[in-house]
Amino acid sequence: MMDNVKESVKETLGLSGKKVRYGVVALGDISQIAWLPGVHHTGNSELTALCTSDAKKAQEVGKQYGVPSENQYSYEQFDSLLKSGKVDALYIGTPNWRHLEFTIPALQAGIHVLLEKPIEIDTATSQKIIDAQKASKAKLMIAYRLHFEPATIAAIEKVRSGDLGDVFMFTSVFSQPLHPENHRAQSGRKAGPVLDMGVYPINAARNLFGTEPIEVYAKGTKHPESGFSNDFEDTVAVTMTFPGNKIAQFTVSYFGNAVDEYTIVGTKGSIRMNPGFLYTDALTFDPISILQDKKNREIQAS
């Protein structure tokens, strides 16, 4: 029993000599900036295959990470990758609306999948992926790193500790100027900031409140001067109500200047997280507001 535990720990730390062989599907920014550099930090994983629609990009990334040309596949060769025996798991970082076409065949082939958020673009399609996982021996995990982000965990612990009192309000602004030719602004109603950015404030509010929303209201606007198509709202404001008279409001936008923050407010204190969601900088929260709130209450009571 103890020997099995030791071996499991060794594998997790990359000390057993056996590593998880990963293939990457899609080589966009999220793959190259956030995921690929992380593989070599794990100690228990290695990159063994690439799959992309851009052969030139595959060559460049393959050279950078030591993936030979025979382990570089086009999207049309995806089935060959699944049958190659060269990967144990896949990281899938395609546009949201292409998650299903790669994830389900991988799960059916018994290959584990680390899938970029969101799981897909609607509930029905997402359920198909979940059902495919249940029918497979392979594992499926959504690559949502904020569940493990130290500052996020610290904020949740602060809320749970009661230091903020009765936490009842969440507000967030998440905006990033996007070029109209970016793939996230293409593909009609499948595009837009809600599916791309909305998952962050939604999950933040759910985790901080520790419960699920019971009502949702949204209003979107379109700015003709943005250069975006008229298929989606480039700026969307959302209000969610939760049990216990808790309320969350957030705005996501492809049109505005870069803003990335949220605030959680309680009856005794508050936390402001800035940056709140993005991976380019370390997340931190401002606990000074807790002390300041206490000081204000003392002044008002005196």
- Active-site amino acid positions: 117, 200
Check if the beta carbon of residue 168 is closer than 8 Å to that of residue 271.
no
| Residue 247 and residue 168 in contact, taking contact as beta carbons nearer than 8 Å | yes
Closest CA to 257 of 173, 168, 172: 173
Sign of CA pseudo-dihedral 178, 180, 186, 188: positive
In the structure encoding, which two tokens stand for residue 43, read together?
């100690």
Burial of 212 (0-12, 13-18, 19+ CB in 10 A): exposed
**DSSP E strands: which ranges in the chain?**
20-25, 45-51, 72-73, 89-92, 112-116, 140-143, 169-175, 215-221, 235-242, 246-253, 259-265, 270-273, 285-286
**What are residue 27's DSSP bridge partners?**
none
In the three-class reduction of DSSP (H, G, I as helix; E, B as strand; rest coil), residue 262 is classed as: strand
Q: Do 263 and 273 meet the contact criterion of CB atoms below 8 Å apart? A: yes
Bridge partner list, 285: 273
**How many residues would you count in the chain?**
302
CA quadruple 68, 109, 147, 173: dihedral sign: positive
